[in-house]
Every structure is written in C-alpha cells, then in structure tokens.
C-alpha cells in the first residue's frame, strides 16, 4: 500500500483534481445536453453520470479537507482509494453507455469547453 503525505496529495489535487472538476463541468454543461438533444433515450444514463460527478466532487472535497487538516497518511490512503474506486466504476459505465455515441457526435464547441482541461 502506498503511503501518501499531505504534500503529495495536495499537489495531486491541485493538478489532477482541478482538471477532473473542469472535465466534469464541461460534460455536465456542454457535452451531456448535446447528447441528450440527439439521444433523449440516454437521459437516465446522463442523469446517472451527472450524479456520479457530484459524488466525485464531494469525495474530492473531503480529500481536500483531510489534506488541509494534515490528516494521517492512512486516512489519505483510504480517501484516495475511495475516489479511485468510484472513478474507475464511473469511467467504465460512461464508456459502455456513451462510446458509440461519442464516436459519431459532432459539436460546435472547442474541446476545452466540452472536455475541460484534461
């Protein structure tokens, strides 16, 4: 098991976590509405993915709070493992449900607007 220091997690969150938040905002505000307009049957899938984004944001906020209070390494490890598990499940579901749609989707938006800074 990798032991994380508060400093390492802080650097991780300022980079990856900020990029992930931007990515999810782009999906929620630009990509998902475009998909829903063309594929209304995917509304339940898009709603689930948006809920996942909210849950991931909540977990990342908890991780940030733990870093801010210099939580023990074991707690940081548990929080990071929780985020990783949810994200892995989320990405697998997203790929299964949307990959074929994304391969044919044409948007009049920049990649940064749609996918965030990832």
pLDDT in tens, 48-100: 999 999 999 999 899 888 888 888 888 988 998 999 899 999 999 999 999 99
Q: Is residue 1 part of a domain?
A: no
What is the reported pLDDT for 5?
Answer: 65
Q: Is the pLDDT of residue 1 over 60?
A: no
Q: How far is 67 from 102, CA to CA, in rounded Å?
A: 36
Closest to 109 in 3D by CA, of 34, 1, 4, 14: 34
Q: Is residue 60 part of a domain?
A: yes
Q: Is residue 110 part of a domain?
A: yes
Structural domain of residue 91, as residue ranges?
A: 6-115
Is 0.75 topped by the overall pTM? yes
> 7-16, 21-30, 71-80, 94-103: lowest mean pLDDT where?
7-16
Count of the separate structural domains present in the chain: 1
Q: How far is 27 from 89, CA to CA, in rounded Å?
A: 17
Contact criterion met (CB below 8 Å) for 60 and 21: yes
């Amino acid at each position: 098991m990798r032991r994380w220091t508060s400093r390492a997690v802080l650097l991780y969150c300022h980079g990856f976590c900020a990029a992930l938040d931007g990515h999810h905002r782009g999906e929620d505000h630009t990509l998902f509405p475009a998909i829903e307009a063309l594929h209304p049957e995917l509304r339940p899938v898009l709603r689930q993915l948006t809920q996942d984004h909210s849950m991931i944001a909540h977990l990342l906020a908890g991780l940030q709070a733990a870093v801010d209070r210099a939580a023990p390494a074991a707690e940081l490890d548990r929080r990071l493992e929780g985020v990783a598990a949810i994200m892995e499940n989320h990405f697998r579901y997203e790929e299964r449900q949307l990959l074929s749609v994304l391969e044919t989707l044409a948007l009049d938006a920049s990649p940064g607007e749609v996918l965030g800074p990832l």
